[in-house]
Amino acid sequence: MPWRENSPMSERLAFIKACLNRIEEITAICHRFGISEKTGHKWLQRFKTEGIAGLEDRSHAPHHQPLRMSAEVAARIVKLRRRYRDYGASKLRDLLTQQYPTERWPAASSIGALLTREHLIRRKRRRRRDVERAALDHTRTPATEPNSVWTADFKGEFRLTSGPYCYPLTVLDLHAHYLLGCTALGTTGVASTRHVFRRLFREYGLPVVLRTDNGIPFAQPNALGRLGSLAFWWVRLGIRPEHIRPATPSENGAHERFHKTLKAAATRPASSSLLGQQRRFDRFQREYNTLRPHESVPGRRPPSTVYSPSPRPYPARLPALCYPDTADVRLVDTNGFIKWRTHHVFLSSNLSGEYVALIETGADLVTIAYASLGLGEFDPHLNRFVPRVRWID
């Protein structure tokens, strides 16, 4: 036979039944049910007045709320919000307090709830943060001379009049504000992007730093250091990839401002084909570099007057990786693993086919590096790789 489950309602019904049977005094009944005599008389009176419905739980909210926002106050707040649409709840309360210091105003949370009910606040969707695996720090290198910092980005795609989308890849020298390339691409894939950079490197040489946002193909959110195959290629060439902080395009503000100029001058209206759009970009590039005065260039001169190619030429073959004689060198397999002694360590599939160095330290840890980039430490006792991506000088 199953156990009998008691609820507050069933207990109250049992109490009322015991009281109606009058086998014992109400004081004894209350004692048996574990309630005070006052509570017993309350439930008995409710049952006599309202029947079984009187035994239901009731709200414990106070009948009178002296601090409740009045309709008049709510109307004044709503009116003020419609006048100052960019003011939030706290700012509205501060403004009301300043204008009417003798009156008592609701808390900012209450004002916010009112604005929400009146549909005067649009709730922001939370941006999903990508999981980072020991990303590079977001220190921005100053552009002290030409080719010290290049910036690159894909301007927002737009549809050509014939239907396909165009993805303009733009590359600037940050010091001279010189437009190195503006290429109309049909995709943001790694292969086409790499082809463009290979052409620019051959024409202008290699920069010291290449700054981009965290979007594909420049970064890979869940990869080691957020570095994709394109970024590791730059590292192999002796270029330092530099990512701005996620969701902060202002850290690449000069490039973002350039996109506004490009959009107005060369994309409205769009061309009918990528080839036609590229011709417009080429004309714009010549004008931008050689004729158009730039406010950030000394004397408001065109960027071409202060830019000069890099003294570091693009090599015909990738430079060899040089590691210390004391380092163990391992090849990264097609799945992104290396083997060290009896351990299999996963690094990144973007390093597939590359050689990394393993250097044992005094702390019984093994530092793993690729070129001048430290990737992290491997603890052989715990069989655990701890990503710690940083530059090794």
Per-residue pLDDT of the chain (393 residues; tens, 9 = 90+): 444 456 788 888 888 888 888 778 888 888 888 888 888 888 888 888 888 887 787 776 665 555 578 888 889 889 988 888 767 888 788 888 888 888 888 888 889 889 888 888 776 665 544 444 456 767 789 999 999 999 999 998 999 999 999 999 999 999 999 999 999 999 999 999 999 999 999 999 999 999 999 989 999 888 999 999 999 999 999 999 999 988 888 888 899 999 998 998 899 899 999 999 999 999 999 999 998 888 888 888 899 999 999 999 999 999 999 999 999 999 999 999 999 988 999 999 999 999 999 998 877 899 999 999 999 999 988 899 999 999 987
Query: What is the DSSP secondary structure assignment for residue 341, as one 8-state letter?
Result: T
Q: How far is CA 367 from the centre of its chain?
A: 29
Pick from 267, 278, 234, 256: nearest CA to 371: 234
The Cα 371–Cα 141 span in angstroms is 20
Q: Residues 275, 171: one domain?
A: yes
Q: Residues 157, 300: one domain?
A: yes
Q: Locate tokens 């300043």: which residue?
A: 98
**Residue 370 maps to a domain:** yes
Q: Residues 159, 267: one domain?
A: yes
Domain containing 13 equals 8-55
Q: Residues 41, 76: one domain?
A: no
Q: Residues 216, 272: one domain?
A: yes
Q: Pairing state of beta strands 337-340 and 343-346?
A: antiparallel
Q: Residues 195, 287: one domain?
A: yes
Q: Residues 337, 193: one domain?
A: no
**Residue 129 maps to a domain:** no
First vs last Cα of the chain: how many Å apart? 78
Pick from 183, 184, 182: nearest CA to 159: 184
The Cα 321–Cα 31 span in angstroms is 87
What per-residue confidence (pLDDT) applies to 337? 96
- Yes or no: say if 348 and 376 are a contact pair by the CB < 8 Å rule: no
Pick from 57, 60, 25: nearest CA to 41: 25
- Yes or no: say if 303 and 179 are a contact pair by the CB < 8 Å rule: yes
**Residue 124 maps to a domain:** no
- Yes or no: say if 309 and 205 are a contact pair by the CB < 8 Å rule: yes
What per-residue confidence (pLDDT) applies to 4? 45
Residue 362 neighbours by CB distance under 10 Å: 5
What per-residue confidence (pLDDT) applies to 124? 62
* Region of residue 180 (phi > 0: left; psi between -120 and 50: alpha; otherwise: beta): alpha
What per-residue confidence (pLDDT) applies to 130? 42
**Residue 190 maps to a domain:** yes
| CA-CA-CA-CA torsion sign (367, 368, 373, 375) | negative
Q: Residues 368, 274: one domain?
A: no
Q: Residues 274, 195: one domain?
A: yes
Q: Residues 162, 229: one domain?
A: yes
Q: Residues 44, 182: one domain?
A: no
Q: Residues 184, 254: one domain?
A: yes
What per-residue confidence (pLDDT) applies to 284? 93
Q: How many domains does the chain have?
A: 4
What per-residue confidence (pLDDT) applies to 132? 42
Locate the DSSP E strands across 129-253. Answer: 149-154, 158-159, 165-173, 178-185, 209-212, 240-243
- Yes or no: say if 220 and 350 are a contact pair by the CB < 8 Å rule: yes
The Cα 76–Cα 98 span in angstroms is 15
pTM of the model: 0.66
Strand, helix or coil for residue 285: helix
Q: Which two tokens stand for residue 132?
A: 């980072």
Q: Which two tokens stand for residue 86?
A: 């960019």
List the CATH number of the domain containing 193.
3.30.420.10
**Residue 262 maps to a domain:** yes
**Residue 157 maps to a domain:** yes
**Residue 229 maps to a domain:** yes
What per-residue confidence (pLDDT) applies to 61? 65
Rounded (to 5) percent helix, strand, coil in the chain: 35, 20, 45
**Residue 259 maps to a domain:** yes
